Chains A and B, each alone.
Chain A
Amino acid sequence: MTATVHRDQQAEKRETPMPQAPRRSAMRWLADHLVLIVGILVLVYTFVPIGYIFALSFNQPSARSATAQFEGFTWSNWTSICEPEGLCESLRLSVTVSLTATVLATTLGTLMAFALVRHSFRGRSASNLVIFLPLATPEVVMGSSLLAMFVSLGLDGLLGFLTLVAAHVLFCLSFVVVTVKARLAGMDTRLEQAAMDLYANEWQTFRLVTLPLAMPGILAAAMLAFSLSFDDFIVSNFTAGQSVTFPLFIYGSKLKEFPPQLFVVGTIMFLISFVFVIAGEVWRRRRVAALR
């Protein structure tokens, strides 16, 4: 696919006439690149709050709300992340919940995706519908129905880690199924047939051919699940009981005495995921280069 793009662009370059009237060619350049410019502007817009979070992480804490204004530069927020009471506990809980939910949702979802793409059975479209329904359900409905169930089953006392994991797996599951399904549907099944022809048994074919080919989709699904779970507020607000995840901590401390350390955590979250994605991309490019 990328190859086609390159070829197209080279073709475009060759066809561009020599700049006779500079103004006309400037207009032409603009027309050619207009979409790209608009696209970049939209990207810049999405980064505006990130700049704010980054700047506010160096903000001198003041008597007034930390979100209001920039009072002065300081490193102190970065060296005292755990100082606001409960912040680091909430981070720890969020990481545990998200990791557990990611592992469970990715495993269950991948199995389901394989079943739906690779196997035919009665009730497949009904299953597809059941998987689609949570995607069509607003989070507030999902959270409230879970709370109503836990309460009416007399499980209020259990609200906390277990109910959070149950809820997070639920809303990640459909996204995992959809992502892995897309990867499996685009895969060339002839490769597996070739492996079978070369006397690999079913398990070997799966382990050595199918799974490696599906891996990018599974990893993407896991990353999506983790970020959905880690950032979830609405469903957690209903199912957390007394425990406090990181988003719940932010919400609880909003406005009045907002600890600037939260902006530090926000910046670090951004940087860590950025490094992850870049590393993944470098790894991918290396592999592509090695395969050539």
Chain B
Amino acid sequence: MTARATTTDSDPVVDGETSKRRGRGWLLLVPGMLWLAAFFLFPTVQLFFTSLYDPSGSYEQGYAMTWQFSNYVDAVRDTWNLFARSFLYAGTATVICLALGYPLAYAIAFKAGRWKNVMLVLVIAPFFTSFLLRTLSWRTILSDQGPVTDVLQTIAILPEDGRLLATPVAVIAGLVYNFLPFMTLPLYASLDKVDHRLIEAAGDLYASPVRGFRRVTFPLSMPGVVSGTLLTFIPASGDYINAELLGTPNQYMVGNRIQSAFLTERNYPLAASLSLILMAIVVVMVVIYVRRAGTEELL
């Protein structure tokens, strides 16, 4: 909505000077594009070829190119459960992030008054320290002797011998924690742009606050919801640190498998085909999601 408005605002200027500026626009773009081509597009193509190498080769002896499309079949057959788990964990974490991030972003945009900037700083402040250190301290907090387990056992939400660490709960909690600002900040950016007069108008037309929110504020914040969920879901689905530090091999996600196939087993064809499958699924999901939410201009 807002994005469209600003483009139309600036278009006349651009159009008026197109003839003059056409050549130079490209020049500004070239250095960055070359970087993307050399270190993103080219490696992706390279990864595609790697995924088709003969898997019987090895890192030391080199691989023969045999256009082994069966690598993909093997990869899916062996690891489909890891993919399912990754998307389940990442999806759950994204929904929880939205549930936590929306009230926070709403409070900052509408309720914080002159504390707005302070609260915004506080949103990002915890993320100034290393995320590995933060995840390790969650490991301590959620451990069997830790305070959270104790409290949950006392109020009998968790059985006496129940644990949090090394369960899916801990892994999802870690994902939620680590990706929360990626949800909150785009949500805030959208909510902050909402014209207050529209909400007032809804009230003047006898909409209850809840209805006003549902029919006016929330739809207007949709671009933020979409970019927030994407910025949370995408990194979460490829993450392997939370599963490694807070879970056990039973909670491992597809990122763990890619990591170990590349760096430990050095089974490059397998690792490459897993990477490409992950990337393909994520891109397809993103495109479908963005289309359905009707916010293509975000791209």
Contact = CB atoms under 8 A, between A and B. Distances in A.
Interface string B98-132: 00110111111011111011110111111111111
A79 to B, nearest CB: 20
Contacts of A97: none
Contacts of A138: 234-235, 237-239, 255, 278-279, 282
A233 B241 CA distance: 9
A257 B37 CA distance: 42
A133 B111 contact: no
Contacts of A6: 113-114
Interface in A252-274: 254, 258, 262-263, 265-267, 269-270, 272-274
Contact of A53 (B7, B137, B275, B279): B137
A174 B33 CA distance: 11
Given A4-B196, A238-B263, A269 B31 contact: no
Contact of B36 (A2, A131, A148, A234): A131
Interface string A9-28: 10000000000000000000
Contacts of A201: none
Contacts of A269: 128-130
A42 B100 contact: yes
B185 to A, nearest CB: 10
B241 A234 contact: yes
Contact of A118 (B21, B46, B122): B21
Contacts of A9: 113
B63 to A, nearest CB: 9
B238 A141 contact: yes
Interface stretch (B73-81, B139-147, B151-159): B139-147
Contacts of A81: none
27 contacts: A1-B192, A5-B113, A42-B101, A42-B180, A48-B141, A50-B134, A53-B133, A56-B137, A112-B29, A117-B10, A121-B22, A127-B33, A133-B40, A137-B40, A138-B282, A144-B271, A145-B43, A145-B47, A146-B39, A148-B46, A149-B43, A186-B6, A237-B263, A238-B262, A247-B131, A258-B136, A267-B129
Interface of A: 1-2, 4-6, 8-9, 33, 35-36, 38-40, 42-43, 45-50, 52-53, 56, 67-69, 108-109, 111-112, 114-121, 127-142, 144-149, 151-152, 166-167, 169-170, 173, 177, 182, 185-186, 189, 193, 227, 231, 233-234, 237-238, 246-247, 250-251, 254, 258, 262-263, 265-267, 269-270, 272-274, 277-278, 281
